[in-house]
Structure 1
Amino acid sequence: MTKSKTTDSTVFSFTLKLTGLLAAKVDNFSLLKESGILHYMFDPEGWHIPELWKNASVRCAWLHGLWSMLQHQQALDFFCRKGLINQVLCLQSDESLFIASLTNQVLVHFMNSTMVTVLNNCETKAQNDSPDSLDWDSATAEVMNHVAVSLASEEQSTILSGIRLVVVALAQCSEPLKGKLWKHVLEPLDVLVQYGSLTRPILAVLQAVAKSTLFINPECRVEALMEAMLYSRNTNDSVQCAALVLQLENSSQTLKRKAKDVLFLPLLHVTSSSLQPHGQENSYMENQLSQRISCVSLLTQSLSSIADLICKESLADIPVQQITTSVISLLRICIGNHLSTSPNLQTSSHLFGCCKVQRSSLDLLGSLTVYKENVDLLHEALSVLLLYLQCPDLHATVLKKAHEATLKWFSICALSPESCNTISHDIFPLLKKHVCDGRWEVRDSTLEFIMQLTATLKGSIKYAEAFQDSDMISVLFTSLEDGEGYVRASAVTALGQAFTATNLSLCTSLQEELCKHLLNILTQDPENFPRRAAVKVFISWLKSPLTFSSLDHTISSVLSVGSNDFDWEVKVHTLELAGLLMEYSSGVFTFSETTCINQALKKLRDLGVFDVLLKCIFDCDRPVSEKACTLLLKLRKFLKQTCSTGHNGFTVEITRCSWGQEILKSCNRRQQTGDPNCVRFGDSESSRQMNSEDCGPNDCGTEKLDLFKVLEVLDLEDMQYNLSLSSDHVINSPRSIMEDILFAAQQNEENTVDCY
């Protein structure tokens, strides 16, 4: 490669990476250096073809090679003496984002490696006194000075490249290096914060430094920078910084109090709450709230940050009920319920009908249910949520958020007669209308809400009575005929939940009707989602402690139809159903009576469980085969235990078509090898036909075989191992990478993808 003058860029890129990998070991490094290969490969100025450097994939490979090589002191010495550090620093501003990002990784790796070298040299006086040894502190300082100069630049792109390196270094460097780097960048960062630009990238720096010990060091002035950011001219950035401060465990209470003021201020200002911080500078905020776009952006940022902090349990000592009341007021403003009484009419007009603020407010209202004191505000919260559910032109996504918030508020307390009355007389009639909405998203969201509400209030006799009195079951049955597959799937799930969460399971006629519908969906529905949902309903019923008499007549049909489905997820769910049936029968296997064991096995055979498992083991979809293999191994374990006590000879009928042929061929192969444990066939005509090479795929019939011996013949452990290996073991290998590179090199069109 060093002598070739017609090198292809792709092959050269690979050679650069290979050289770096080889040079990672000291002996290899010495050989490559002595032969001049190392100097040639990593000195672009000496390449026979200078144009190669213009290729992004070559520059990327050059960096990868360096990164791999920098594993020992000799490589670090070579890197510094050849001035390669300057070349890497120049690539920080490369037009390729992949290369710029890779540059930061190489520089951080270099600094960490030099720190290790410095510590090692300090322990060895001879090395430390060597006149030829490099000043590693100076080498590291060169990188840090470069970063400081970048942050002080007038070019925004240069500043951003410096900030990105600081973030990576603070995340990956050792603590001593972080301290040195911070001393270099603190002053230019302070200037950038005061100037008020690039606040979001600076937030990334503050977030990184807050996770280190520098945060609690007063000399590092991290909290001072954060406080300056809290009162940025861009209020959105101030809110982001406030959220960051409140997530930190080590920040001072004073800083946290100021962060809370900043975080809540937009919400409290819009709703004219008396909780607004006194003396707070609101001029920037008032200016931002006076314009529609910035007003919406600021409010959504504030609301979503509060909700996120509540979910992370990062908000403490806040006036919960007052905040909740403000959110309820904001929701009323957004739906036009408070326009006439709101003092901030201009701001209110910006928010009326705004979906973004409505969604964020509903999310926050739902999150606030984690505070127990909000039980007293249940009536007010449900009142405003009911307003949203009653709105005829509400956006579908907002309605979904209203459903989610309603569920959370119903879950925080026991169902009172008043709440039950609200569900029966207000919510259920609205849901009936929404199920008939012209938008499928609304119908789907409504059915999901019915299912989730039923699950949330499971066990409530009052809810069960209200559900039946409102005839919601008829609404769900009607939705099974919906033209949209997602809606049919949601209707199936809602019906399944209704039967397990209420006393509908006592009605045999309703059970039979639903089983008929579900089987019809499994057999005829053209879309996957309803069929998946149908099998899941049978699984939930089987897991339920309730008695479903209709299952006895239906389950074998479900297994047969589900295992023949075109969708792999339907087949996996069918196998899960088969696994549950095996679990319920597994207790019988521990008994010593042959009659009990055979009865359990016969029950599974009659239901078609064995047929499903043996068929799915040869399925073309890996997850299906893997699931079937796991269940068959479990079955074989049970049978081994029973066979050890003398119970064996249980037979199954294997069809001589499709998957059955594969099993019979496996049995024949084992028989021909003389394996004493293999299945022995008789001299029947069907057996002779199966052993004939002229047997065609359509020559159907059955063969009775011992179940345990069939499971031994299949070599399930080997199958499970091969199935557990995903496609990565084939695709993500050195051989496949070489094949990809050679294939790309043979193409006429140049490969310009720099992330290759």
Structure 2
Amino acid sequence: MMDPDCAELLPLVCEVLANPDRALPDDTCLEKLLDWFAALTNKAPGLSLLELNPCLVSFISSVCTSKSAEPSVLAFALKLAGLLASNERAFPLLKEEGIMKNAFEYQGWMESSVWEDATVRSGWIHGLQNVLKHWQAMQFVLENGLLKAILRLQSDRSLFVASATNQLLACILTFPTSPAGHLSVKEARTTERKNERNACCGHDSPERNEGAAQIVEHVEESLTSRVPFRAHQSLKLIALSLTGCQPHVREVLWQKTVEAKEMLMGNGQSSLVQPFLEVLRAAARTHLFTEGNFGVVTLMDDVLCSLKPMLAVPFATGIIHLDNCPQTLKNKATAIILRPLDHVAALVLSQKTCSGVVRESDFEHSVWEEQLSQKSSCISLLCLSLSGTSELLGLESLREDICVQPVVLSVTTLLKICEGGPFFTSSSSSVSRAVRNLIGCSRVQKCVLDTMAALSHCPGSDVYAEDILSVLLLVLQNPDTDQNVFKKALQTALNWLCSGSQSRSVNSFLNKDVFPMLKKRLCDVRWEVRDSSLEFLTHLTLQLQEDLSYCETLSSSGIWDFLMALLNDPESYVRASAICALGQMAYVTCPVKGPPSGSSVQEELFVHFVEILAQDTEGFARRAVIKVFSYWLRHPPLQPLEKMEKHLGTVFQLGSDDLDWEVKVHTLELAQIVIDEILETSSQTSCPYSIIPSARCKGRDLTESLRKLHHLMIFNTLFSGLLDCDRPVAQQACRILLDLKEVIIDHTDIVDKTVVFDLQGCKWGQDILKKHFEKHSITTAIQVCVDIEELLQSLDLEGRQRALEKSSDHMENSPRSLMQDILAAAHTVEENIVDCY
């Protein structure tokens, strides 16, 4: 129900909106109001919204009969009328009050000058679409001759109005045969089954059949009118309606489309080709596709080979995803997708098409060659082909139909062309033009790299790993490679290096080629290249940290010194990535000149990272430090908690005092990990922190664990976070404290009350006293030392959590605030008028 404050403001708002002399802050406030009414309409049963707020009926009637209403307000009133009338019980009242006639009686609008404003026409259409939720509304549309007016608006000069009209017509065509109304579940199911039988047989009310016939007749006229815009709009309507309309209507719409096929396709360049293809895609999702007598498959097959390449490839990519698609059609679609790759590779390598599925007789060779000889179309067509190939490789059902070897040959050839490799064997002019168009083209390079990454997931592809990696190395070693291409090449190389078992040849490749390349790139003048190299090294080490041969190769690579130097990089992103890389490498390697064990490496890095946390001026590096510490504690084979404890208090103090809210959130996550580990060790069976009822622990152990948490400054971090002005920080702290509170209360009879806080000695203590203890009438002068159990029970953590769950702007974006803004804006305008004169 509506909030009482809102109900009190609503009549005033309606009065302001209905007054053409009052101005609004902006039109978006009306849309927000409409969204609010839509939510209320969905919740309010029956007539309650209208009964409790009669001002709405008066407002709509006043605005719709006014000759001087603002177009935006009039459109709002029309949409609101449809929204209110969408309730089956409210509709008769609005009809009886004359609201439906005033709002939607078309002839009256035609005679009004406001109809010239597209905003009003759009509001009228959207209002009708809002109301079409029950049969009374459908009958109102059909019996009052509104369908003729709606059809006229399908060709409206405003694209917004024309598009909205198509949506409304599709809603009419796909409307259920008859409503279940307010029936029981059993009655509703019986009615639904009856409706399905009626729909299949083509039986329906005379008005409904007449309305559908009127729309179909209009569609037929539009398709044969030779007016491109009309035909385009009707094709869009068919595409919108085919999957949801009644079978007999669907079949008629399809038949009309097929009859107009030649006119719609034209010479292949017609603006109607694309919407026609949308109709084909829609038909493929209906029974028309699986029943051969409708000829959908045959038509798709014919269209595939007659389309221009730029349309054929994306259309073919859509076909491969169709369910129940005949294998012959899928094969042809696959051939279309691979055709550009085959063509370029065949031209450059002076050999026939290499995919094995393309038949030259299926295509106009000259058309494809012409497209590939022009720079813009060549690049776009190859990108479409590569994207489609990636999708093909991602479908297990189609992988078996594709020979991986020719695809590998095509993509490696393309990447070499982009790199300007001097290996071409053909001297034809078309090859020369294609090569010139592709050299240094980052757009094609990125698409090639995506396809290469998809190839790494194909069964048996590991035999091509060396070929792929050697071509990728060309890109990675080229100092002129675009930074985004470089990053994607590293990601693709990562896929191939981490797919399947690692062979000696791969580790030799890393040692001989990859690590020397990385050393150069870690010194690149472009920070993006340095950053991408560090990310690659981090992910590669994470994936291969259990591979002993990789660990040995990495240890002897000499990269450690480069990473240490990058901790002082002038770019904060690079420093953060260097921290992450070092944090990961500490698990698998120790530098040749460094400490004798990985554990010592971690300990030395820990001290270094704490200094960064205290001194680095950018948040990225500080966030990375906390995240590395969290990772180390989650995966502690080398650095258990005991070895980090002497520094953790400093880490928590620095993290909770940090100015960056993300650092504080990551610090709380680190606190969560430490709490889990410490409390788990205090239980002989399972972790009491998991709040499992069967978990028990000795009072001495739990008390000792709480003392340790206190000593590590974790409670300070949690209470400081609870009062933080950044909501994510406060939410995280509140969640942890609530869990701790439950653990302690569950064991209150065995916990020694020796973990005590001097509230006046804590940074957060005064706020705690002021905000929480005063309402309990606790004298702060007497009780400033409080034990943890009393402190947690005194804080209203549950209330704090509820408050934090609300968005920070829930008051500002509330309906009440919105209406207050409207009233304030109108009042301000009046004051300004008085002041001006």
Bin the TM-score by the shorter chain: 0.7 to 0.9
Residue equivalent to 2:669: 576
Alignment pair present for 1:479 and 2:479: no
1:286 is matched with 369
Who is 1:754 aligned against? none
Q: 1: distance between equivalents of 2:828 and 2:76?
A: 16
Query: 2:144 & 2:827 partners in 1: Cα distance?
Result: 34
Q: 1:540 aligns with which of 631, 637, 640?
A: 631
SS at the partner of 2:759?
Answer: strand
| Farther off after superposition, 727-736 or 220-229 | 727-736
Partner of 2:406: 322
Residue 156 of structure 1 and its aligned partner are, at CA, apart by 3.2
**Alpha carbons 2:555, 2:590 under 8 Å: kept:** no
Counterparts in 2 of 1:48 and 1:233: CA distance versus 1, 3 Å: closer
Shift of 1:36: 2.3
- Find out whether 1:351 has 2:445 as its counterpart: no
SS class of match (2:398): coil
Q: Separation in 2 of the partners of 1:660 and 1:254? A: 76
Aligned partners of 1:710 and 1:92: how far apart in 2?
68
Aligned residue for 2:327? 253
Q: Does 1:139 align with 2:211?
A: yes
The aligned runs of 1:21-36 (5 Å cut-off) are 21-36=83-98
1:69 Cα deviation after fit: 2.0
Aligned counterparts, 1:470-509, within 5 A? 470-502=557-589, 506-509=597-600
SS in structure 1 at match of 2:175: helix
Letter in 2 for 1:137: N
- Cα distance in structure 1, aligned partners of 2:485 and 2:149: 53
1:528 to 616, 619, 630: 619
**Paired position in structure 2 for 1:128:** none
Greater mean deviation of Cα atoms: 315-324 or 114-123: 114-123
* Deviation per residue, 1:406-433 (Å, 9 max, x gap): 1111112333232222211211111111
Pick from 595, 609, 627 the counterpart of residue 714 of structure 2. Answer: 609
d(CA) in 2 for partners of 1:312 and 1:538? Answer: 40
Which residue matches 1:718? Answer: 799
1:392 deviation in Å? 2.1
**Which letter maps to 2:788?**
L
- Deviation by residue 1:662-715 (Cα, 9 ceiling, x = unmatched): 32134423423xxxxxxx66864xx5xxxxxxxxxxxxxxx3212222222222
Out of 79-88 and 144-153, give the one that drifted further.
144-153
Report the secondary structure of 2:582's partner residue.
helix
For the residues of structure 2 that align with 1:90 and 1:741, how far apart are their CA atoms?
A: 36
Question: Which residue does the alignment assign to 2:523?
Answer: 436
Of the three residues 310, 314, 338, the one matched with 1:240 is 314
Q: Which of 710, 724, 730 is the matching residue for 1:619?
A: 724
1:671/1:401 CA distance change after superposition, 3 Å: closer
Deviation at 1:215, TM superposition (A): 1.8
In 2, are the aligned partners of 1:17 and 1:62 still within 8 Å (CA)?
yes
For residues 164-183 of structure 1, the aligned pairs below 5 Å read 164-170=236-242, 172-173=244-245, 177-183=249-255
Paired residues of 1:334 and 1:358 also in contact (CA < 8 A): yes
Given the superposition, is the C-alpha separation of residues 710 and 428 from structure 1 closer, same or farther in structure 2, using an over 3 Å criterion?
A: same
1:243/1:4 Cα in 2 relative to 1: closer, same or farther (>3 Å)? closer
Aligned pairs for 1:62-73 (under 5 A) are 62-73=124-135
Across the two proteins, how many residue pairs are aligned to each other?
A: 717
The match for 1:707 is 788
Equivalent AA in structure 1 for residue 776 of structure 2? Q
Q: Distance in 2 between matches of 1:181 and 1:154?
A: 18
Residue 298 of structure 1 aligns with an amino acid whose one-letter code is: L
Q: Are 2:689 and 1:598 aligned?
A: no
Pick from 289, 296, 300: which aligns with 2:379? Answer: 296
Deviation at 1:738, TM superposition (A): 4.2
2 CA distance for matches of 1:153 and 1:532? 64
Deviation (angstroms), 1:84: 2.1
User: Which residue matches 1:335?
Assistant: 419
Query: Given that residues 591 and 597 in structure 1 are in contact (C-alpha distance below 8 angstroms), is that contact kept between their aligned partners in structure 2?
Result: no
Q: Using the TM superposition, give the Cα deviation of residue 270 of structure 1 relative to its aligned residue in structure 2, in angstroms.
A: 1.1
Structure 1's 385 and 24: CA in aligned 2 closer, same or farther, altered over 3 A? closer
CA RMSD across the alignment: 3.1
Q: Is the 8 A contact 1:56 1:96 kept in 2?
A: yes
TM-score w.r.t. the length of structure 1 is 0.87
Which residue of 198, 205, 208 maps to 2:282? 208
Deviation at 1:393, TM superposition (A): 1.2
Match of 1:224 among 298, 304, 309: 298
**Residue 558 (structure 1) aligns with:** 651
State the 1:580 CA deviation: 0.9
Query: Which deviates more, 405-414 or 182-191?
Result: 182-191
In the TM superposition, what whole-angstrom CA distance separates every residue of 1:423-455 from its partner, at most 9, and x where no partner exists? 112111111111111222211111111112212
TM-superposition CA deviations, 1:470-517 (whole Å, max 9, x none): 221111121122222222222222122212344679345533443344
Distance (Å, rounded) in 1 between the aligned partners of 2:171 and 2:511: 65
- Give the conservation status (yes or no) of the 8 Å contact 1:150–1:159: yes
Q: CA deviation at 1:255?
A: 0.7
Structure 2: any 5+ residue segments left out of the alignment? 1-61, 181-189, 196-204, 347-352, 683-687, 689-694, 831-837
Q: Quick one: distance in 2 between partners of 1:123 and 1:568?
A: 60
Task: Tell me what 2:609 maps to.
Answer: 518
Measured at CA, do residues 53 and 713 of structure 1 come closer, stay the same or move farther in structure 2, by a change above 3 Å?
A: farther
SS at match of 2:359: coil
Rounded to whole Å, the distance in 1 between the matches of 2:821 and 2:252 is 43
1:695 aligns with none
Which of 768, 773, 778 aligns to 1:663? It is 768
Measure how far apart 1:302 and its partner are.
0.4
Cα distance, 1:228–1:526 mapped onto 2, change above 3 Å: farther
Offset of 1:233 from its aligned partner? 4.0
Question: What letter matches 1:615 in structure 2?
Answer: S
Query: What is the SS of the residue equivalent to 1:135?
Result: helix
Secondary structure, aligned partner of 1:341:
coil
C-alpha contact 1:5 1:49 (8 A) present in aligned 2: no
1:389 alignment partner in structure 2: 476
Partner of 1:632: 737
**Contact 1:666–1:714 (Cα < 8 Å) also in 2:** no
Structure 2 CA distance for partners of 1:415 and 1:31, relative to 1, 3 Å: closer
- Matched to 1:632, the amino acid is L
How do 1:36-115 and structure 2 match up within 5 A? 36-43=98-105, 45-46=107-108, 50-113=112-175, 115=177
Aligned to 2:48: none
Describe the superposition over 1:714-745 as per-residue Cα deviations: whole angstroms up to 9, x where unpaired. Answer: 22222222322335855665445545665677
Residues 22-44 of structure 1 show CA distances to partners (whole Å, capped at 9, x for unaligned) of 22234432232233222112135
The aligned residue for residue 513 of structure 2 is: 426
Distance in 2 separating the partners of 1:251 and 1:55: 47
Task: Supply the AA of the counterpart residue of 1:328.
Answer: T
Measure, in 1, the Cα distance between the counterparts of 2:519 and 2:530.
Answer: 10
1:266 equivalent in structure 2: 340
CA–CA separation in structure 1 for the residues paired with 2:134 and 2:83: 12
Equivalences for 1:638-677 in 2 at 5 Å? 638-645=743-750, 648=753, 650-655=755-760, 659-672=764-777
TM-score normalised over the length of structure 2: 0.79
Letter in 2 for 1:167: A
Task: Using the TM superposition, give the Cα deviation of residue 403 of structure 1 relative to its aligned residue in structure 2, in angstroms.
Answer: 0.8
Report if aligned partners of 2:415, 2:471 keep a CA contact under 8 Å in 1.
yes
TM-superposition CA deviations, 1:581-638 (whole Å, max 9, x none): 1111232244442221111111111111111111112222222222111111111111
With 574-583 and 199-208 compared, the bigger mean Cα shift is at 199-208
Deviation at 1:748, TM superposition (A): 7.0
